[in-house]
Structure 1
């Protein structure tokens, strides 16, 4: 009986120990599972974060590349208009020719007006149409101050991408049509069909020539920018004070301008007299003769008339 009780107690003890071990193992497993799940979640969240970042960055890079590609493919016609004053016209013209040559451009039109052999002091002005490689456009404009005082400058850019690519697509379509017509012409077996195909080919060739000419003109205007430049010769370059300058500065500028006008007027008068000296001498001689004749006739006299002298009284 005692042995049976001892055996039962031993079995109960063993069962209790197994239950504690199972509970401990279950708790440890849950903890490990929880830890493993947390790590997994962190990795998933991290991966998700990287995925989100890469997903957001990708469109931005694509947009940047797209805009840069569009800018590079844009067909721009650039133009500039300048008016420059110079006190040394001949030197400025030489400098302009040198600048155009250094920039790899050429003069499409060039003309000089004003001045003459009889009036060397007359102002001259030059009108120039300059064609420059597009990459030298900004460089040339940055150097125009070397020619003189830039009184006005304006720039414009015309985007002809749509017209250019549309013309290019039409040209491609016409060339495809030309190839098909030539293929049909080779297989034609009647004179009526041959004549019709040749007429169609003539129209297509005319259209191809017209579109090719348009593309060549676009290429010329795009690759070579146009600059319209006017070079004016002036006696002196002065900067007139603006409305925001002080009253004293504006008055001083006015006085200086008056003196310059007086001096220039005197110079112009002397130049005119030098070119018309014979005429001046003839007029002076005629005036002297007329005075002498009138004095002899008593019409003119240096003496004053007395109180009793009438209009007909001669004065000796």
Structure 2
């Protein structure tokens, strides 16, 4: 029982020491370079093998091969570039370039566009997305081709474009559609990324030490305590690995949301202040256009609904004819009816008709 308590206290002490070391990403990186046996790096796949949570890291291999320095200097390279990215120091042009290359920037675009050639624009956008090496995350198209001057087709495309090529894709949209609204947002997740990496390194160091203790233990209770903690560490490593993969995906592929509306007339987008004359001209042009569209719409409506109008015209004509016939009969009946007879009830002679 005392042995189990001592082991529990030892595990708690190890956990506390490692948590304190995780408070600084720099300390975590220094600890990870003290021994090659304690280095279990996280790679682009971020998968856990289930037998020790060993990760494969190729994140800084390109920097190491290009630098041609010693192992100690190679281990410090990512640390200095990360510190530069977080503190914003510019000690030299080389350090500034390295910091910029290691920054984790998530870019997001939203564009509200109009087009008179809906199908053509959709085809061009899909072709451009494939050409740039991106993919469509979601797509929705609703409605049908516009009737008269009213647009009824609408589409929304959420595209993921490689970050290095997203500006070219945005320019392509500008050239092929009328952009009425464009928004861009950026988010720097470098701090969150490095903190997550530091937690992963700390957990892996704790994991290796617990494995070393597990090999020395022979009592079932002590083994269960260690296995329980190792299970928690594996779960945390998987969660942090998923978070890093999420950041990597968002940084590597920018998100562009396109809201596409089919219209008969494009909305004018003025780039400079309009004068009074220009406003009057545009207003008159808009009024004439609306009048023209109104007459056209009325003519089309009249022709389209002419069969209904004819049917209702015949019905109304029949009703009018029947009504007029009944009115004539009623008037004729009243004209041929005998006049009413007035009866004298003993009144004076002056009140009787002449000759009576």
Match of 2:116 in 1: 87
Q: Provide the C-alpha distance between the structure 2 equivalents of 1:229 and 1:62, rounded to a whole number of angstroms.
A: 41
Match of 1:74 in 2: 103
Match of 1:169 in 2: 198
CA RMSD of aligned residues (A): 2.9
Q: Provide the C-alpha distance between the structure 2 equivalents of 1:137 and 1:116, rounded to a whole number of angstroms.
A: 30
Unaligned 5+ runs, structure 1: 1-59, 300-311
Q: Provide the C-alpha distance between the structure 2 equivalents of 1:274 and 1:177, rounded to a whole number of angstroms.
A: 82
Q: Provide the C-alpha distance between the structure 1 equivalents of 2:149 and 2:171, rounded to a whole number of angstroms.
A: 32
C-alpha distance 175-276 of structure 1, shift in aligned 2 (>3 A): farther
Match of 1:296 in 2: 325
* Per-residue deviation, 1:207: 0.4
Helix, strand or coil at the partner of 1:297: helix
**1:100 maps to which of 96, 117, 129:** 129
Q: Provide the C-alpha distance between the structure 1 equivalents of 2:150 and 2:134, rounded to a whole number of angstroms.
A: 32
Helix, strand or coil at the partner of 1:167: helix
Match of 1:248 in 2: 277
**1:129 maps to which of 148, 158, 167:** 158
Q: TM-score normalized by structure 1?
A: 0.69
Match of 2:253 in 1: 224
The correspondence of residues 1-316 of structure 1 with structure 2, limited to 5 A, is: 62-115=91-144, 122-237=151-266, 239=268, 244-273=273-302, 276=305, 278-298=307-327
C-alpha distance 278-175 of structure 1, shift in aligned 2 (>3 A): farther
C-alpha distance 197-119 of structure 1, shift in aligned 2 (>3 A): farther
* Per-residue deviation, 1:290: 2.2
Q: Provide the C-alpha distance between the structure 2 equivalents of 1:78 and 1:242, rounded to a whole number of angstroms.
A: 25
Q: Work out whether residues 241 and 250 of structure 1, in 8 Å CA contact, stay in contact via their aligned partners in 2.
A: no
Q: Work out whether residues 75 and 222 of structure 1, in 8 Å CA contact, stay in contact via their aligned partners in 2.
A: yes
Q: Provide the C-alpha distance between the structure 2 equivalents of 1:275 and 1:192, rounded to a whole number of angstroms.
A: 87
C-alpha distance 277-194 of structure 1, shift in aligned 2 (>3 A): farther
Q: Provide the C-alpha distance between the structure 1 equivalents of 2:164 and 2:97, rounded to a whole number of angstroms.
A: 17
Helix, strand or coil at the partner of 1:99: helix
Q: Work out whether residues 113 and 126 of structure 1, in 8 Å CA contact, stay in contact via their aligned partners in 2.
A: yes
Q: TM-score normalized by structure 2?
A: 0.61
Q: Work out whether residues 83 and 230 of structure 1, in 8 Å CA contact, stay in contact via their aligned partners in 2.
A: yes
Query: 1:203-231, CA deviations, whole angstroms, 9 ceiling, x for partnerless residues?
Result: 11110110001000000000001011111
* Structure number with higher helix proportion: 1
* Per-residue deviation, 1:97: 0.8
C-alpha distance 127-178 of structure 1, shift in aligned 2 (>3 A): same
Match of 2:76 in 1: none
C-alpha distance 219-241 of structure 1, shift in aligned 2 (>3 A): closer
* Per-residue deviation, 1:85: 1.0
C-alpha distance 116-61 of structure 1, shift in aligned 2 (>3 A): closer
C-alpha distance 212-119 of structure 1, shift in aligned 2 (>3 A): farther
* Per-residue deviation, 1:144: 1.4
Query: 1:281-312, CA deviations, whole angstroms, 9 ceiling, x for partnerless residues?
Result: 4333322222222322339xxxxxxxxxxxx9
